[in-house]
Structures are given as structure tokens and as C-alpha cells.
Amino acid sequence: MSTRPIRVALDAMGGDHGLAETAAGAAQLSREDAPIHIILVGDEPQITAALAGHRYDPGRVEVVHAPGAPIAMAEDARAALEARPDCSIAVAARLVAAGEAEAVVSAGHTGATILSAARTFQRLPGVRRCALAAVHPTEQKHGPKGDPFALMLDVGATIGASAEDLLSFAVMGSAYAQIISDNERPSLALLSNGVEPNKGTPEIREAHRLLSAAPGLRFHGNVEGLDIPRGTVDIIVCDGFLGNVVLKMLEGVTEVVSDIAKDAYARRFLWKLGLTMVSRDLQQLRQMTDWKQYGGAPVLGFDQVVIKAHGRSNARAIRNAVKVAAKAVDRGLVRRTAEGIAAVMATSDPRSAG
Amino acid sequence: MSTRPIRVALDAMGGDHGLAETAAGAAQLSREDAPIHIILVGDEPQITAALAGHRYDPGRVEVVHAPGAPIAMAEDARAALEARPDCSIAVAARLVAAGEAEAVVSAGHTGATILSAARTFQRLPGVRRCALAAVHPTEQKHGPKGDPFALMLDVGATIGASAEDLLSFAVMGSAYAQIISDNERPSLALLSNGVEPNKGTPEIREAHRLLSAAPGLRFHGNVEGLDIPRGTVDIIVCDGFLGNVVLKMLEGVTEVVSDIAKDAYARRFLWKLGLTMVSRDLQQLRQMTDWKQYGGAPVLGFDQVVIKAHGRSNARAIRNAVKVAAKAVDRGLVRRTAEGIAAVMATSDPRSAG
């Protein structure tokens, strides 16, 4: 990373734990050796009070006031942003658009984050739909660092995707994996109901054809549901409806397995003894699959860096999300994505260039 | 069950283990007190040889010769059925159409089973697409017997589904759960990317409206991916593409968890000891979620009973699939499904009746 400090606008009011964790994460990061300048956006008196409880480097942390009440998870994003255009996520996005920050990070309302970005930033040329990406744990490792996570997109920024949208998701995901996971040639696949090129919806079949011809991508072909937990490829490309269902199902499976274990644990002495004996391995597995280490997932396709941290983020997850945002800025995620999109557009078949 | 023996045509050559398990399953069932007459369809000399290795009631087992080689999993169903119209699954379906059997059961090629049915049977009035259903283990129990499985359909008979198709899937799934699980008022939901009625594709939003107005159904609304492993409802309705991806992903998760456990088991003495201590509970969990007990999943929407057993079925799973088929015949699954479809068609909104 260069020594020029990168300015990241952090939605201080966002996330299930709000300021308690965002202020702590910002304070923590300010004392580290990373050249990152954090702009906490939200209710200034509350932020100042929250920061007062932490040791932090005041040269690295700044507060920008946003008077509007933050958007609650249950609110409709569109209505809330219209009613309170000066809420923290909207002000944070505008700081980036005005050049006062280089990336925006929020653990708040996902729809409001995407909508604020859509209203404030431009989509990159050739990108018709932005995509929300997410990481999920897999059996196989990925990239040179042996990452136990794979990337999936779109997981719900929009419903439905044309073949060209799926192609641009593939380019966007590849650029992100290259930059964030140091994975020079990430493999990618379309999620379908069979591995054969003729499987899937008409959009997927056409996307298969486009991706097979696209330059600069390591296209594996189609994968099936089985391949998601296995981690057959580094990046899974799908439409936002399918991605949303699949991602929530993975969360559900994790919850249920953990519920069953807890229930059994409470019931039986032998379970307790047995689980204590295996607990070191379980701990290892938990650490390996801990999304908090990962630091959030990007919204891709805009001309600015947008990172959506998990709603349940603690201070460490917030800190990691801000670091991911700074890394994406430093390594030119937006430029590299734009170059990738331009390259596939230049060679794409005129039949489907629409 | 009445005492009139129900005649079930069993594709003797189908499944990963073929005759080794189908003949054993048929032999086993013939010695039980169930009034079921099994017609083993396939290569007669091979079937006779396989049966000779088992004790069976010759009054309850019959062999019908099908000269065509069985369809391998890797074959294209359409091409294979054209090349070998006298293969076992095609002959079995024709026996049912001719009134010589009342249901067909196969553990073979899923596509070939559905296609054979489509070419031989009629779709029920008002049903535009048939659906393949599947059961999956859930945290919550279902119905009066506390079944740890929920039903999902369509899991891949066709790609895509209109709102009216989704409505008919709901009716078909409800009739099946009523008859097979003795669940008089099974709850059902649409799988979407949010619980609100306005979430999902246009087809899902319209299906939500149709289902809310449909008589005789216990419509819960939309569920999300999280609700699949939880088992929030008894029946999940979705299009065949989504259902296929979701079902294969559940299989993949089960595989991966089992791989990780095996790997850890091999590596560490403490794991072995710990797992031995918890093994009785694990055994219980495994039994609870053992699809072999369930006896296959139906293809719904035809005027005949079609049960698709899992490709990996052993003799016991085959036996259970034949019993499920006989139960569906005995309790009038086709008639009750037809009545349900007629009832929703009679009251459905003319705007969407197409």
C-alpha cells in the first residue's frame, strides 16, 4: 500500500450495533500503521461521545455530521431515503461523490447502501446493473493465500439478469478477487442446474456462450448447487434472486447445525465431554469460516468503491471492512474493473451487444 | 390400505445398483403383509437370475421383459428414449397407461423417467407443467407424525414457472403431503428473496396474489433461503431451476460436513474418542435425516402415479418407494390432486386465468 492516506467514509450509525462497534473499529484502526484516514459520518454529538470512550489517533479520525436518523433494517430503503436525505449513508456517499472521500463503508441497511450509491455514483461504462457480492466458506481453498472462502455475485442487488449482465458480473468479480485475494487468475463459473453448456435459463445459456469467448477470464463453465459448498471455483456468477436465496440458505444451514449442537450439548453429559474433546478442532473450523475476518463484501459496478459490511459486524469486522475498502482504492479496483469491462465489450459478439 | 392388491411397475434396471437392489427390494416387499403386486420390468433373464438369489413370494412378483438396454445417467434422455423405445422405464410407463399397473417407480435416470411419463400419460386438466418433488431434512418437524422432512417442488422437472404453474405446484404438493404424510392442512410458501408479498420475480409476486385467494390451501406467504433448513413450512414451492440448485446445494453441504468430520476423525485421536462419545446422538440424527426411509419423491401433475426413487437407493429404499407408490394409488392421489386443481381453477381470478 502506498503511503498517501486513503480517505474512507464510514457510515457510523449503520449496523446492528451502530456506534458502539463503528467507533471502536475506527479507533482501533487509527492506532495501526495503515495509511487510512477514517471519516465517521452520522450524528456528531453521539459520535464524539462514543469516540471519547476509546483511545484513537485524532489525526486519522474525522467526524462529519449527518442530521437524518439512520435507516432501520425494517424500513423501505426508497421511502426512508426520500424522507431523510441527510441520513448517514446518504451523506457518506455524497462525500465520496464530492471527492472528499475515496470509498464508502456501511454495515447498515443493504438496500439503502446500494440505493444511495446508485443515486450518487455513476455506473461504469458497459455496466447495466451493479452487483452485490458475498463470500461464503468452502471446502476447497482459493488463491495463493489458500483462502477458505469463495466469492458469489449477484446476491441481491437486483432481481434477474440478462446474459450481458452475467458477463459483467464475471468481469467485476474477477477484478475484485485479483485485487483483494491476490488471486491473479481466479476461476469462475455460472450457477446452473447442470454442468452442460445447454443447461439453465436462456440467459444462462447465452452467458455461457459470451463467457466462453470473453478475453481475460478463466471461465470454468457451469457449476451446480453441489459446487457451492465444495468451492469448485473461486467465483460463482448468478442473478441476484438466485444468489439471495442461496446465500440465505447457507446462513440458515449454519444456524441450524449450531442449534442442534447447542441443544444436544445442553441435554447430555457425554455430549459435553465429547464436544470438549473436539473443541479445539471446532474452534479452528469456526475461525476458518469466520466472515468477520473477511471484512464485508463489495457492491460492484459503480465508479466508486462501496463496501457493505455484515449487519452483525463487531469492531474488528468494521476495521477489516475499512481496510478492504482502502485496499480496493489503493490497488485501483474501479479502474481495473472498467478496463475488464471495456475489454470484453470490445470483443463481444455483435449479435448480443444489444 | 384396502385388500385389493395394487399393481406397481418397478423399473428393475434403474438406479446406481440396478437389479442387485431392485430385485432384493421387490423380494423383501413380497414377503410382507402389504397387498402389493410388483411387476419387475427389464431384461427378463437377468431379473429371473437376480430373483433366484432371494426368498420371495412368486404370487406377488411378476416379470415383464423390456429388451432395450437401460438408460445410463450420462445419456441424453430424449436421444436414448428415441434410440431404445423398449427400455425398462418406457415399458414400465406403458404398462401403467395400458391399465396393467397402477403406478410406476424408478431409481433410474430422472429425465428419462419424467419424459417417459410425459409421453405416455396425460397431464391433469389445468396442469400445464408437471413437477418433480423432493423431501429435505429440516430442524422443525412436520405433520401429526412429526416428520423431520419438508417437501419442495419443482426441483427440476422443467425450467421456469408461470404464476399459474406455481399455483398448481402448491395444489399438487398439498395433495401429496395430505396423502403420504397424513398432514391434513399442510402449510406452504413461495421461496423468494424476502417475506414481503412484493418480493421476488414478477411470476412469484403474481403467484402470491393467486395463492392468497386460492381455496383449500394453507398459504403462509413467502419464505427465504433461511427457512429451508429451518423447515418453517411443510411445503416449499418454487420453479424447477431454483429448486434444482437449492436441492443440490443441500446435498453438497451434507457431503462437505461429512468429509470434514471424516478427515478430522482420521487425523486425531481425541476426535475419535470425542466422536465415539457423541456417536449415539449422531446416529439418531443420521437416522432422522435418512432419505432412504422416505422412499423417493413423486413426479406430480400426471393422471398416473410416478415415484422417482433416489439413484443411490438400496433394497430398503426401493421397497419404501414401491410402498409410497401403492399408498398414493390406494388413497387416490391423482383424483385428489385433480379435485384440488379444479377447485382453484373455478375460483381463480379471470385476470390471470390466461
What residue has cell string 417407480? B105
Q: Which residue of A has its CA nearest to B267?
A: A281
C-alpha to C-alpha distance for B89 and A157, rounded to whole angstroms: 44
Q: Does A266 touch chain B (CB under 8 A)?
A: no
Which DSSP symbol is given to B5? P
Through-space distance between the first and last CA atoms of chain B, rounded to whole angstroms: 40
Q: Do A246 and B248 touch (CB under 8 A)?
A: no
Rounded Cα–Cα distance for residues B136 and B147 (Å): 11
- Give the C-alpha separation, A172 to B173, whole Å: 40
pLDDT digit string, tens, across residues A120-171: 999 999 999 999 999 888 888 999 988 888 999 999 999 999 999 999 999 9
Nearest residue in chain B measured CA to CA from A138: B256
Residues B145 and B103 both lie in one domain = no
Q: Are residues B7 and B63 in the same domain?
A: yes
Q: What number of CA atoms fall less than 13 Å from residue A192's CA on the CB side?
A: 23
Taking chain A (354 residues) in runs of 10, the rounded mean pLDDT of each run is 83 95 97 95 97 96 96 93 97 98 96 96 96 90 89 93 97 95 95 93 97 95 94 97 93 71 55 54 52 74 96 92 96 96 79 44
Domain annotation covers residue B234:
yes
List the one residue out of A135, A87, A86, A132 whose CA is nearest residue A110.
A132
Task: Test A253 with B229 for CB contact under 8 angstroms.
Answer: yes
Distance from CA of A68 to the nearest CA of B (A): 26
Nearest CA in chain A to B281: A264
Instruction: Report if residue A44 sits inside a domain.
Output: yes
Q: Do A139 and B271 touch (CB under 8 A)?
A: no
Would you say residue B270 lies in a domain? no
| Residue in chain B nearest A204 by alpha carbon | B241
Output the CA torsion sign for A137, A140, A146, A152.
Answer: negative
Nearest CA in chain B to A139: B256
3-class DSSP assignment, residue B242: helix
Residue A201 has its nearest CB partner, among B159, B230, B257, at B159
* Farthest CA pair distance, chain A: 68
- Nearest by CB: B271 against A193, A270, A278: A278
With an 8 Å Cβ cutoff, are B139 and A259 in contact?
A: yes
Contact A108, A11 (CB under 8 A): yes
Cis check for the bond before B154: say yes or no (omega within 30 of 0).
yes
Has residue A194 been placed in a domain?
no
How far is the C-alpha of A143 from the C-alpha of A288, rounded, in Å? 15
Q: Which of these, B104, B109, B103, lies nearest to B80 by C-alpha position?
A: B109
Please give the DSSP secondary-structure letter assigned to residue B156. S
Kindly list the residues from chain B whose CB atom is less than 8 angstroms away from the CB atom of residue A278.
Answer: 264, 270-271, 274-275
Are residue B2 and residue B97 in the same domain, yes or no? yes
Q: What is the pLDDT of residue A352?
A: 46
User: Rounded CA gap, B106 and B149, in Å?
Assistant: 21
The CA distance from B215 to the nearest CA of chain A, in Å, is 28
- Judge whether B178 and B270 are in contact, CB under 8 Å: no
Q: Does residue B82 belong to the interface with chain A, where contact is any CB pair within 8 Å?
A: no
Q: Is the CB of residue A71 less than 8 Å from the CB of residue A42?
A: no
Q: What is the model's pTM?
A: 0.88
Report the helix count and the strand count for chain A, using DSSP H and E: 12, 11
Do the domain assignments include residue B139? yes
Task: Residue B242: list chain A partners with CB under 8 A.
Answer: 241-242, 245
Inter-chain CB proximity B225 and A249 less than 8 Å: yes
Q: Would A282 be classed as within a structural domain?
A: no
CB contact under 8 A, B226 and A241: no
The residue of A249, A250, A285 whose CB has the most chain B CBs within 10 angstroms, and thus the best one to mutate to test that interface, is A249
Query: By C-alpha distance, which of B69, B252, B246, B175 is closest to A229?
Result: B252
Choose the final residue of a domain: B199, B228, B259.
Answer: B259
User: B205 lies in which domain range?
Assistant: 133-259
Q: Of B195, B227, B259, which residue sits at a domain end?
A: B259
CATH of the domain at A50: 3.40.718.10
E strands in A192-346: 218-223, 235-237, 297-300, 305-308
Judgement on whether residues B155 and B116 belong to the same structural domain of the protein: no
Cα-trace Rg, chain B: 21
The verdict on A195 touching B (C-beta cutoff 8 Å) is no
- How far apart (Å, rounded) are the C-alpha atoms in residues A64 and A19? 14
Identify the domain boundary among B227, B259, B291. Answer: B259
CATH number at B69 reads: 3.40.50.10950
Do B75 and B101 belong together in one domain?
A: yes
Cα–Cα distance between B56 and A205 in angstroms, integer? 49
Q: How far is it, in rounded angstroms, from Cα B212 to Cα A209?
A: 40
Q: Are B77 and B112 in contact (CB under 8 A)?
A: yes
The neighbouring-strand residues paired with A149 are: A137
pLDDT at residue B346, as a whole number = 85
Which chain B positions have a beta carbon within 8 Å of A192's beta carbon?
241, 245
User: Do B92 and B167 share a structural domain?
Assistant: no
Q: With an 8 Å Cβ cutoff, is B277 touching chain A?
A: yes
Question: B249 to chain A: which residues are within 8 Å by CB?
Answer: 225-226, 228-229, 246, 249-250
| Residues A211, A236: Cα–Cα separation, whole Å | 13
* Per-residue pLDDT at B221: 97
Q: Measuring CA to CA, which residue among B69, B74, B103 is closest to residue B86?
A: B69
Q: Which residues of B touch A240 (CB under 8 A)?
A: 193
CA B242 to chain CA mean position, Å: 17
Strand ranges of the sheet holding B297-300, from the earlier edge strand across to the other edge: B61-65, B36-42, B6-11, B103-106, B305-308, B297-300, B131-142, B147-153, B235-237, B187-191, B218-223
Tens-binned pLDDT, residue by residue, of chain B (354 aa): 456 899 999 999 999 999 999 999 999 999 998 999 999 999 999 999 999 999 999 999 999 999 999 999 889 999 999 999 999 999 999 999 999 999 999 999 999 999 999 999 999 999 999 999 998 888 889 999 888 889 999 999 999 999 999 999 999 999 999 999 899 999 999 999 999 999 999 999 999 999 999 999 999 999 999 999 899 999 999 999 999 999 988 888 777 766 665 665 555 555 555 555 555 555 555 554 555 555 678 999 999 999 999 888 999 999 999 999 999 999 999 999 999 999 998 876 555 443
Q: How far apart are CA B16 and CA B45, in angstroms?
A: 20
Task: Report if residue B289 sits inside a domain.
Answer: no
- Considering only CB atoms, B245 lies closest to which of A242, A270, A275, namely A242
Give the closest residue to B217 by CA, choosing from B177, B266, B159, B160: B177
Do residue B275 and residue A278 have CB atoms under 8 angstroms apart?
A: yes
Instruction: Judge whether B70 is closer than 8 Å to chain A, CB to CB.
Output: no
Total of domains in chain B: 2
Instruction: Give a yes or no: residue A66 inside a domain.
Output: yes
Instruction: Indicate if B324 and B349 belong to the same structural domain.
Output: yes
Alpha-carbon radius of gyration of chain A: 21
Looking at the structure, tell me whether residues B94 and B165 fall in a common domain: no
Cα torsion B16, B18, B24, B26: sign: positive
- The candidate with the shortest Cα–Cα distance to B238, out of B205, B190, B278, B277, is B190
Does residue B115 share a domain with residue B21?
yes
ipTM of the complex in this document: 0.84
Instruction: Note whether B95 and B208 are same-domain residues.
Output: no
